[in-house]
Amino acid sequence: MGPIDTTSAIPEIAPATAGRDLYAVVGNPIAHSKSPFIHARFAEQTGEPVEYRHLLAPRDRFAETVRLFVAAGGLGLNVTVPFKLEAHALANSLSARAAAAGAVNTLRFDGERIYGDNTDGVGLVRDIEANLGMPLADTRILLLGAGGAARGVVLPILERKPRSLTIVNRTAEKAEALVAQFAAAAHEARAALTGGGAGLVGSSPYDLIVNATAGSLDAALPECDARAFGRGTLAYDMMYGAQPTVFMQHAKSLGARAADGLGMLVEQAAESFFVWRAVRPASAPVLAELRTMLARQS
Residues recognised as catalytic: 84
Q: What is the pLDDT of residue 5?
A: 58
Which residues are part of a known binding site for NADP(+)? Answer: 145-149, 169-174, 238, 261
Are 238 and 265 a contacting pair, CB within 8 Å? no
Give the span between the Cα atoms of 288 and 265, in whole angstroms: 12
pLDDT at 298 exceeding the cut of 80 = no
Residue 228 pLDDT grade (very low, low, confident, very high; cuts 50, 70, 90): very high
Helix (H, G, I), strand (E, B) or coil at 112: coil
Are 195 and 179 a contacting pair, CB within 8 Å? yes
Taking only the tens place, the pLDDT of each residue in 266-285 is 999 999 999 999 999 999 99
Please give the residue that has the higher pLDDT: either 150 or 216.
Answer: 150
Give the span between the Cα atoms of 47 and 39, in whole angstroms: 12
Query: How many CA within 13 A on the CB side of residue 75?
Result: 14
DSSP string covering 112-168, please?
TEEEEE--HHHHHHHIIIIIS----TT-EEEEE--SHHHHHHHHHHHTT--SEEEEE
Taking only the tens place, the pLDDT of each residue in 106-136 is 999 999 999 999 999 999 999 999 999 999 9
Q: What is the pLDDT of residue 220?
A: 86
Mean pLDDT of the chain: 94
Average pLDDT of the segment spanning 198-212: 94
Helix (H, G, I), strand (E, B) or coil at 56: strand
Question: What is the rounded end-to-end Cα distance, in angstroms, of the chain?
Answer: 16
pLDDT at 3 exceeding the cut of 60 = no
Which residues are part of a known binding site? Answer: 33-35, 80, 105, 120, 145-149, 169-174, 238, 240, 261, 268
pLDDT at 2 exceeding the cut of 80 = no
Are 140 and 157 a contacting pair, CB within 8 Å? no
Ordered domains of the chain (ranges, CATH): 21-118+264-297 (3.40.50.10860), 122-260 (3.40.50.720)
